[in-house]
Structure 1
Amino acid sequence: MLSATGWGTLVAGAVLTTTGYVLGYGEAAALGTACLLAVAVAVLWALPAPVLGTERRITPSRVSRGDPAEGVVTLTNTGGRTRRGLRAIDRCGERDIAVEVPPLRPGTSYEVRYALPTARRGRVPVGPLRLERTDPLGLARRMRPYDAADTLLVRPRIRPLPVLPSGRAHHVEGPASDSADDGTLTFHALREYVLGDDLRRVHWRSTARTGTLMVRQMVDVSLPHTTLVLDTRRRAYASEDDFELAVDCAASIAYAAARSHFPVHLTSEAGALLHTDGSGHDGEALLDALAVVRRSELPSVAAAFDGLEGHHGSGALVVVTGTGDTRGLGAVDRVRHRFDRATMVRVGATEAATTRDGVDPVGDVRQLRVASLDELLAGWRREAAR
């Protein structure tokens, strides 16, 4: 209830009053009494709880790292008296944002706007909002929480990239396994009916022969796949900035494929992050998933390739890593032959010699070294044109 100044005034008033009466100093006693009265008036001033209506919104609720975002709080005086001495305090991440509120007459509203921190990727908790009422001297205050907490999602930055073409010629009769995506272009096999299947795909001859409702399984054999391996190991990157750039690169590559309605499989050494089928708002889902990726303490990235050894869908393999520790990256050779093409993006400054166009061919996997998103854009366009 009392501020630090209020407590100091209260102690000083008690000491001055006691000393003045005991030693006979009238001036000290009067000054001490004035201090005590000031504290009492301050407490009475701050005691009534303000009757206010509050509404908070975050615009936009999702934002790319570094882009502006605002918190907007609307305060409405729903009481019958003018409210003065109010200050709105909102918790944003790890810091408080305080805004002074002018006097509010009954029935009037005031809109508080403040910038939200977007320098770091991730979920930024906003709130709960607190209203602080203080006396003119700042001796006493009363705090009251309003509203629940909201969340601002800070996502990776992206650049518009082309999709890497897949060069393998697919068999005219379709894939030879059940791993291809369900589609409408090519007949693949017959299977038993599952609730929700399109009845127009029922194969009546097989149904009559087997006595079980059978449907045609149709697949899209030409749909390019993008398998993206993001190395999240702390030791793989020289700095936090390099890791953030790697996430931005992964987000740009994944979003480019999703924007073209192509399937994307996103994984790391810590496990699969997301798999999309090329429909709906896959790009937004990928950005949301990458917004909360954190660095891991695992020693090797090899586990990220273990789940790709059974891959049958060809397409493009993209590995995004840093210029630090390379333990486990050799595992890419085990799965390289299962994809049409493989590209490794190395993020961060390096003293290693590079070719004139910034791409190092290393075995069957070309390495694209980038130190910014602009370099990724230029190098990726060259890769797509190969």
Structure 2
Amino acid sequence: MPAADATRRSGAGPLSATGWGTLLAGAALLGAGYGYGYGEAAALGLTCLAAVVTAVIWTVPKPQLAAERRIAPRKVGRGDPADGIVTLTNTGTRTRRGLRATDMCGDQPLTMDVPVLRAGGSQELHYALPTARRGRITVGPLRLERTDPLGLARRIRSYGSADTLVVRPRICLLPVLPSGKAHHVEGPTSDTADDGSLTFHALREYVLGDDLRRVHWRSTARTGTLMVRQMVDVSLPHTTLVLDTRPGAYVSDDDFELAVDAAASIAYAAARSNFPVHVLSEAGPVLHTDGSGNDADALLDRLALIGRSDRKSAASAFDGLEHHRGGGSLVVVTGTGDTDGLTALGRVRRRFDRVTMLRAGEDMAAPDAQGVSSATVDVPQLHIASLDALLAGWRWEAVR
């Protein structure tokens, strides 16, 4: 936050609750004293009114201050510590006392007392920023409240501009899942990449959307089933991650946050190894990286902002995958609640070398009881109640 003088006053009145009480009491005593001839009461009333006027005059002068804020670090994982550090400098010629600073972090006020500021002196104020919730959180502007010694009047002014704290998902370091690649090449299987990067891998049954030029007619005639050539793409392995953001999919908000943390951990594992990652939800694409640059940071920044969708079914997340290039890993991250639309996974699972479903939350009913089709049940499912459970289960999944 750049150094700046006070630019505007808040809409709050100049009197505190104590000041208003003193003002009303003084007026009542003064009126009663004059009306009923009680000189002592009138004198006490005048004293109260004089104290209020003096308090207002005390707080009228505008403090000549400069404020500079820094946030360390600016980007942090959910639940990890982050600090705000504000440096206040008295640029005037008078010592300043009785100041109280409030820095807004989102909708949460963070209030602290300011030590005595002598002319030309500076003070650093340190405070912990709340990081329990993901998102891009506005910090500031800083508000300084000046009160008189009796606490009857106050003036609140804003200093400088706002800053931003990005709270990302929590992550744990995971291995990248093997994608069923041939050992003599470093790439996933594919049906649609350029011919120059392909090597024959295997034969498989035809799936709607496959290129008919890859039909192996001799095997088709022998088996009576339409068979196509599955090729090996020597390009980078790629990970496709479907994050279920439907409210009904999760029993609680904590389960949804765990799912986002898990999705971020899986995507980060691939991106930090410079592998392409495609993240999407039933509401549409979230982010696609090509395996270059600062993809890992971009993934965490984007997932810091993802929220719940208003969709009832998860089926739309799989619609665009029916024409997927083929190969690589598909990871579906969902909760332990409503499974509506997850049966659509059966339409696309054969286009990937490896498919895994991760279910976040403690309350887990039997899959059949929740309406998951047999095609989905056959997909390996990993149930987690914490990131520690994800770390242990994912390591086992990687060597399965």
> Does residue 1:141 correspond to 2:159, yes or no?
no
Structure 1 vs Structure 2 CA RMSD: 2.3
Residue of 67, 73, 79 corresponding to 1:60: 73
| SS at 1:324 equivalent | coil
Question: Aligned residue pairs: how many?
Answer: 346
CA distance in 2, matches of 1:365, 1:176: 22
Match of 2:354? 341
Aligned to 1:158: 171
Kindly provide the CA deviation profile for residues 289-347 of structure 1, in whole angstroms up to 9, marking residues without a partner as x: 11111112210011111111111141000000011100000111111111111000011
Change (3 A) 1:81 1:220: farther
Q: For residues 364 and 253 of structure 2, what CA distance do their matches in structure 1 show?
A: 19
Letter in 2 for 1:372: S
Secondary structure of the structure 2 residue equivalent to 1:81: coil
1:177 to 192, 208, 212: 192
Deviation at 1:237, TM superposition (A): 0.5
Structure 2: distance between partners of 1:350 and 1:326:
14
Partner of 1:310: 323
Go from structure 1 to structure 2 and tell me whether the alpha carbon gap of 1:123 and 1:305 turns closer, same or farther (over 3 Å shift): same
For residues 365 and 118 of structure 2, the distance between their equivalents in structure 1, rounded to whole angstroms, comes to 68
Q: Partner amino acid for 1:72?
A: I
| Deviation of 1:43 (Å) | 0.7
Unmatched 5+ stretches in structure 1: 181-185, 189-218, 355-359
2:221 paired residue number? none
Q: Secondary structure at the match of 1:12?
A: helix
TM-score, normalised via structure 1 length: 0.85
Distance 1:178 1:140 in 2: 73
Aligned residues of 2:328 and 2:353 also touching (Cα < 8 A): yes
* 1:45 equivalenced with 2:45 (yes/no): no
Deviations 1:244-277 (A, max 9, x none): 1000100110000011110000000111010001
CA contact 2:193–2:233 (8 Å) conserved in 1: no
Cα distance in 1 for residues equivalent to 2:96 and 2:308: 48
User: Conserved in 2, the CA contact under 8 Å of 1:342 and 1:364?
Assistant: no
One of 393, 397, 400 as aligned partner of 1:379 = 393
How far does residue 8 in structure 1 lie from its aligned partner after superposition? 1.2
Please state how far the C-alpha of 1:280 moved relative to its aligned partner.
1.3
Q: 1:241 is aligned with what amino acid?
A: D
- Deviation track 1:156-212 (CA, whole Å, cap 9, x = no partner) reads 1111100001114499899663579xxxxx668xxxxxxxxxxxxxxxxxxxxxxxx
Please, which of 288, 308, 312 is the counterpart of residue 275 of structure 1?
288
> TM-score, normalised on structure 2?
0.82
Cα displacement string for residues 20-68 of structure 1 (whole angstroms, at most 9, x for unaligned residues): 0111001100110000010011011100010001001111111111111
- The 5 A counterparts of 1:297-376 are 297-352=310-365, 363-376=377-390
Q: Which residue of 1 aligns with 2:304?
A: 291
Q: How far is 1:353 from its partner?
A: 6.3
